[in-house]
Protein backbone atom coordinates (compact mmCIF):
# COMPACT_ATOMS: atom_id res chain seq x y z
CA UNK A 1 0.00 0.00 0.00
CA UNK A 2 2.81 2.36 0.90
CA UNK A 3 4.55 1.69 -2.42
CA UNK A 4 1.28 2.10 -4.33
CA UNK A 5 0.67 5.43 -2.60
CA UNK A 6 4.08 6.71 -3.66
CA UNK A 7 3.38 5.55 -7.20
CA UNK A 8 0.10 7.47 -7.29
CA UNK A 9 1.83 10.57 -5.95
CA UNK A 10 4.55 10.21 -8.56
CA UNK A 11 2.03 9.85 -11.38
CA UNK A 12 0.08 12.84 -10.11
CA UNK A 13 3.07 15.20 -10.15
CA UNK A 14 3.31 15.50 -13.98
CA UNK A 15 -0.46 16.06 -14.19
CA UNK A 16 -0.26 18.79 -11.54
CA UNK A 17 2.71 20.31 -13.38
CA UNK A 18 0.78 20.36 -16.66
CA UNK A 19 -2.26 22.00 -15.05
CA UNK A 20 -0.08 24.63 -13.34
CA UNK A 21 1.84 25.28 -16.56
CA UNK A 22 -1.38 25.81 -18.53
CA UNK A 23 -2.76 28.15 -15.86
CA UNK A 24 0.57 29.96 -15.71
CA UNK A 25 0.76 30.56 -19.45
CA UNK A 26 -2.84 31.81 -19.52
CA UNK A 27 -2.38 34.23 -16.62
CA UNK A 28 1.09 35.43 -17.57
CA UNK A 29 0.59 35.93 -21.30
CA UNK A 30 -3.16 36.04 -22.02
CA UNK A 31 -4.95 37.54 -19.02
CA UNK A 32 -2.06 39.81 -18.10
CA UNK A 33 -3.64 41.57 -15.07
CA UNK A 34 -3.03 38.19 -13.37
CA UNK A 35 0.57 38.02 -14.59
CA UNK A 36 2.10 37.57 -11.13
CA UNK A 37 -0.18 34.64 -10.36
CA UNK A 38 0.83 33.23 -13.73
CA UNK A 39 4.47 33.28 -12.71
CA UNK A 40 3.57 31.52 -9.45
CA UNK A 41 1.72 28.81 -11.39
CA UNK A 42 4.78 28.34 -13.61
CA UNK A 43 7.00 28.10 -10.54
CA UNK A 44 4.63 25.48 -9.12
CA UNK A 45 4.88 23.54 -12.38
CA UNK A 46 8.67 23.49 -12.04
CA UNK A 47 8.32 22.34 -8.42
CA UNK A 48 6.08 19.42 -9.37
CA UNK A 49 8.42 18.39 -12.18
CA UNK A 50 11.38 18.51 -9.79
CA UNK A 51 9.43 16.37 -7.32
CA UNK A 52 8.68 13.85 -10.07
CA UNK A 53 12.29 13.80 -11.28
CA UNK A 54 13.59 13.15 -7.77
CA UNK A 55 11.11 10.29 -7.49
CA UNK A 56 12.62 8.76 -10.63
CA UNK A 57 16.07 9.17 -9.11
CA UNK A 58 14.94 7.02 -6.19
CA UNK A 59 17.07 5.64 -3.40
CA UNK A 60 18.43 7.61 -0.48
CA UNK A 61 19.59 10.63 -2.56
CA UNK A 62 16.14 11.03 -4.12
CA UNK A 63 14.38 10.80 -0.76
CA UNK A 64 16.82 13.24 0.84
CA UNK A 65 16.42 15.80 -1.92
CA UNK A 66 12.64 15.44 -1.80
CA UNK A 67 12.79 16.10 1.94
CA UNK A 68 14.81 19.29 1.30
CA UNK A 69 12.35 20.37 -1.39
CA UNK A 70 9.40 19.79 0.93
CA UNK A 71 11.11 21.61 3.82
CA UNK A 72 11.76 24.64 1.61
CA UNK A 73 8.13 24.66 0.52
CA UNK A 74 6.86 24.51 4.10
CA UNK A 75 9.24 27.28 5.22
CA UNK A 76 8.20 29.45 2.28
CA UNK A 77 4.51 28.94 2.96
CA UNK A 78 5.00 29.76 6.65
CA UNK A 79 6.79 33.01 5.80
CA UNK A 80 4.13 33.84 3.23
CA UNK A 81 1.37 33.29 5.82
CA UNK A 82 3.03 35.68 8.30
CA UNK A 83 3.56 38.42 5.72
CA UNK A 84 0.12 37.98 4.18
CA UNK A 85 -1.47 38.32 7.62
CA UNK A 86 0.26 41.68 8.07
CA UNK A 87 -0.76 42.85 4.60
CA UNK A 88 -4.41 41.86 5.08
CA UNK A 89 -4.76 43.19 8.63
CA UNK A 90 -3.17 46.56 7.81
CA UNK A 91 -5.34 46.85 4.73
CA UNK A 92 -8.38 47.03 6.99
CA UNK A 93 -6.97 49.57 9.45
CA UNK A 94 -9.23 52.52 10.16
CA UNK A 95 -7.63 55.40 12.06
CA UNK A 96 -9.56 58.65 11.86
CA UNK A 97 -7.68 61.72 13.06
CA UNK A 98 -7.03 65.28 12.00
CA UNK A 99 -4.57 65.41 9.12
CA UNK A 100 -2.52 68.21 7.60
CA UNK A 101 -2.37 66.81 4.06
CA UNK A 102 -3.42 63.94 1.82
CA UNK A 103 -1.13 61.92 -0.45
CA UNK A 104 -2.50 59.73 -3.25
CA UNK A 105 -0.11 57.10 -4.56
CA UNK A 106 -0.20 56.45 -8.27
CA UNK A 107 -1.21 53.35 -10.22
CA UNK A 108 -1.54 52.56 -13.91
CA UNK A 109 -3.02 54.89 -16.51
CA UNK A 110 -4.82 53.55 -19.59
CA UNK A 111 -3.92 56.08 -22.25
CA UNK A 112 -5.03 59.23 -20.47
CA UNK A 113 -7.68 57.64 -18.22
CA UNK A 114 -7.19 56.17 -14.74
CA UNK A 115 -6.96 52.40 -14.56
CA UNK A 116 -9.43 50.54 -12.36
CA UNK A 117 -6.92 50.52 -9.50
CA UNK A 118 -6.14 54.22 -9.84
CA UNK A 119 -9.83 55.07 -10.15
CA UNK A 120 -10.53 53.34 -6.83
CA UNK A 121 -7.78 55.38 -5.14
CA UNK A 122 -9.10 58.63 -6.54
CA UNK A 123 -12.65 57.88 -5.46
CA UNK A 124 -11.48 56.95 -1.96
CA UNK A 125 -9.47 60.18 -1.75
CA UNK A 126 -12.37 62.29 -3.00
CA UNK A 127 -14.65 60.83 -0.34
CA UNK A 128 -11.98 61.35 2.32
CA UNK A 129 -11.40 65.06 1.56
CA UNK A 130 -15.12 65.86 1.23
CA UNK A 131 -15.12 67.42 4.72
CA UNK A 132 -11.54 68.71 4.51
CA UNK A 133 -11.79 71.61 2.05
CA UNK A 134 -8.49 73.34 2.76
CA UNK A 135 -5.75 70.74 3.11
CA UNK A 136 -3.26 70.16 0.27
CA UNK A 137 -3.43 67.00 -1.85
CA UNK A 138 -0.30 65.41 -3.27
CA UNK A 139 -0.61 63.19 -6.34
CA UNK A 140 2.48 61.16 -7.20
CA UNK A 141 3.49 58.90 -10.06
CA UNK A 142 5.56 58.98 -13.24
CA UNK A 143 4.61 58.12 -16.82
CA UNK A 144 4.94 54.47 -17.80
CA UNK A 145 4.69 52.49 -21.05
CA UNK A 146 1.33 52.88 -22.79
CA UNK A 147 0.47 55.98 -20.76
CA UNK A 148 -0.19 59.29 -22.54
CA UNK A 149 0.57 61.28 -19.40
CA UNK A 150 2.04 60.72 -15.98
CA UNK A 151 0.03 59.18 -13.16
CA UNK A 152 0.43 62.42 -11.21
CA UNK A 153 -0.98 64.50 -14.08
CA UNK A 154 -3.82 62.05 -14.66
CA UNK A 155 -4.83 62.19 -11.00
CA UNK A 156 -4.64 65.98 -10.90
CA UNK A 157 -6.82 66.21 -14.00
CA UNK A 158 -9.38 63.79 -12.53
CA UNK A 159 -9.53 65.64 -9.21
CA UNK A 160 -10.03 68.99 -10.93
CA UNK A 161 -12.84 67.50 -13.02
CA UNK A 162 -14.47 66.39 -9.77
CA UNK A 163 -14.38 69.76 -8.08
CA UNK A 164 -10.99 69.98 -6.38
CA UNK A 165 -9.40 73.42 -6.74
CA UNK A 166 -6.14 73.25 -8.77
CA UNK A 167 -4.25 75.31 -6.20
CA UNK A 168 -4.75 72.55 -3.62
CA UNK A 169 -3.05 69.92 -5.77
CA UNK A 170 0.70 69.30 -5.58
CA UNK A 171 1.92 67.15 -8.48
CA UNK A 172 4.90 64.81 -8.59
CA UNK A 173 5.58 63.25 -12.00
CA UNK A 174 8.93 61.60 -11.26
CA UNK A 175 8.24 58.74 -8.82
CA UNK A 176 8.65 55.28 -10.35
CA UNK A 177 8.00 53.16 -7.25
CA UNK A 178 6.58 53.24 -3.73
CA UNK A 179 9.81 54.44 -2.11
CA UNK A 180 10.03 57.36 -4.54
CA UNK A 181 6.31 58.09 -4.14
CA UNK A 182 6.90 58.60 -0.43
CA UNK A 183 10.20 60.47 -0.71
CA UNK A 184 9.03 62.93 -3.35
CA UNK A 185 5.69 63.50 -1.63
CA UNK A 186 7.43 64.33 1.64
CA UNK A 187 9.71 66.75 -0.23
CA UNK A 188 6.73 68.52 -1.81
CA UNK A 189 5.01 68.86 1.57
CA UNK A 190 8.22 70.09 3.22
CA UNK A 191 8.46 72.85 0.61
CA UNK A 192 4.94 73.84 1.64
CA UNK A 193 6.18 74.22 5.21
CA UNK A 194 4.60 71.05 6.57
CA UNK A 195 6.33 69.73 9.68
CA UNK A 196 7.66 66.17 9.36
CA UNK A 197 5.75 65.19 12.52
CA UNK A 198 2.40 66.25 11.03
CA UNK A 199 -0.27 63.61 10.44
CA UNK A 200 -0.69 62.83 6.74
CA UNK A 201 -3.39 60.68 5.16
CA UNK A 202 -1.98 58.30 2.55
CA UNK A 203 -4.46 56.91 0.04
CA UNK A 204 -3.55 53.72 -1.76
CA UNK A 205 -4.91 50.24 -2.42
CA UNK A 206 -5.80 48.28 0.71
CA UNK A 207 -3.23 45.60 -0.06
CA UNK A 208 -0.54 48.28 -0.52
CA UNK A 209 -0.97 50.06 2.82
CA UNK A 210 1.29 47.85 4.93
CA UNK A 211 4.31 48.21 2.63
CA UNK A 212 3.64 51.92 2.36
CA UNK A 213 3.78 52.19 6.15
CA UNK A 214 7.26 50.63 6.07
CA UNK A 215 8.49 53.55 3.96
CA UNK A 216 6.48 56.21 5.79
CA UNK A 217 6.78 56.70 9.55
CA UNK A 218 3.74 54.73 10.73
CA UNK A 219 3.26 57.17 13.63
CA UNK A 220 2.51 60.03 11.23
CA UNK A 221 0.75 58.07 8.49
CA UNK A 222 -3.03 57.82 8.51
CA UNK A 223 -3.94 54.92 6.19
CA UNK A 224 -6.87 55.41 3.80
CA UNK A 225 -7.74 52.21 1.97
CA UNK A 226 -9.01 52.07 -1.60
CA UNK A 227 -10.87 48.83 -2.31
CA UNK A 228 -11.40 47.09 -5.63
CA UNK A 229 -15.04 46.71 -6.74
CA UNK A 230 -16.62 43.42 -5.52
CA UNK A 231 -16.76 41.92 -9.01
CA UNK A 232 -12.96 41.94 -9.26
CA UNK A 233 -12.21 39.68 -6.29
CA UNK A 234 -9.91 37.43 -8.32
CA UNK A 235 -7.70 40.38 -9.24
CA UNK A 236 -7.80 41.45 -5.60
CA UNK A 237 -6.52 38.03 -4.51
CA UNK A 238 -3.74 38.28 -7.10
CA UNK A 239 -2.68 41.70 -5.79
CA UNK A 240 -2.74 40.58 -2.16
CA UNK A 241 -0.55 37.56 -2.96
CA UNK A 242 1.86 39.67 -4.99
CA UNK A 243 2.12 42.19 -2.16
CA UNK A 244 3.39 39.60 0.33
CA UNK A 245 6.29 38.91 -2.04
CA UNK A 246 6.91 42.66 -2.42
CA UNK A 247 7.09 43.02 1.38
CA UNK A 248 9.55 40.11 1.54
CA UNK A 249 11.70 41.80 -1.12
CA UNK A 250 11.60 45.06 0.86
CA UNK A 251 12.80 43.29 4.01
CA UNK A 252 15.58 41.43 2.21
CA UNK A 253 16.85 44.38 0.19
> What would the pLDDT profile of 126-161 be if each residue is shown by its tens digit?
999 999 988 999 999 999 998 999 999 999 999 999
CA torsion through residues 203, 209, 211, 214, sign:
positive
Q: Are residues 29 and 83 in the same domain?
A: yes
My answer on whether 80 and 116 are in the same domain is no
How far apart (Å, rounded) are the C-alpha atoms in residues 52 and 13? 6
**pLDDT at residue 206, as a whole number:** 95
Under the banding of pLDDT at 50, 70 and 90, the label for residue 9 is low
Give CA–CA dist 125/115, Å, rounded: 15
- Domain harbouring 162, CATH code: 3.40.50.620
pLDDT score, position 91:
86
What residue spans of the chain are helical by DSSP H?
Answer: 2-25, 35-57, 59-90, 116-128, 151-161, 178-191, 209-215, 233-252
**The pLDDT of residue 10:** 60
Residue 209 lies in a domain: yes
Domain check: are 86 and 128 in the same one? no
State which residues form the domain around 207: 101-252
225 and 182 within one domain: yes
Q: Which residues contact 141 (CB under 8 A, 6 or more apart)?
A: 105, 106, 107, 150, 151, 152, 154, 155, 172, 173, 175, 181
Residues 6+ apart with CB under 8 A from 143: 109, 149, 150, 151, 153, 173
Q: How many domains does the chain have?
A: 2
Span 41-49, average pLDDT: 97
- The whole-angstrom separation of Cα 198 and Cα 189 is 10
Average the pLDDT over 175-191 and give the result.
95
In a domain, 96, yes or no: no
Q: Are residues 107 and 215 in the same domain?
A: yes
Is a pLDDT exceeding 90 seen at residue 237?
yes
Question: How do residues 76-119 score in pLDDT, each as one tens digit?
Answer: 999 999 999 999 998 887 777 899 999 999 999 999 999 999 99
Q: 177 and 86 in one domain? A: no
Q: What is the mean pLDDT of the chain?
A: 92
Gap between the terminal Cα atoms of the chain: 47
Higher pLDDT, 102 or 228: 102
Q: Considering 90, 112, 132, which residue would you say is the last residue of a domain? A: 90
* CA distances in angstroms from 197 to 100, 190, 200, 215, 241, listed in the order given: 10, 11, 9, 15, 32
Q: Which of 41, 59, 90 marks a domain boundary?
A: 90
Shared-domain flag, residues 121 and 168? yes
Is the residue at 95 inside a domain?
A: no
Q: State residue 41's pLDDT score.
A: 98
Amino acid sequence: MRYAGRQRLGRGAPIAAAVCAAAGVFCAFVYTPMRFSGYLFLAAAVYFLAWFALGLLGGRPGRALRFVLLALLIAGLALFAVLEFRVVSYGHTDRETKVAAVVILGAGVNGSEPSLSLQSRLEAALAYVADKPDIPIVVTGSQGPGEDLSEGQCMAQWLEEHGIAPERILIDTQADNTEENIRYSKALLARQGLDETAQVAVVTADYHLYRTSLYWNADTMVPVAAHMPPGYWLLDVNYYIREAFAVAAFMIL
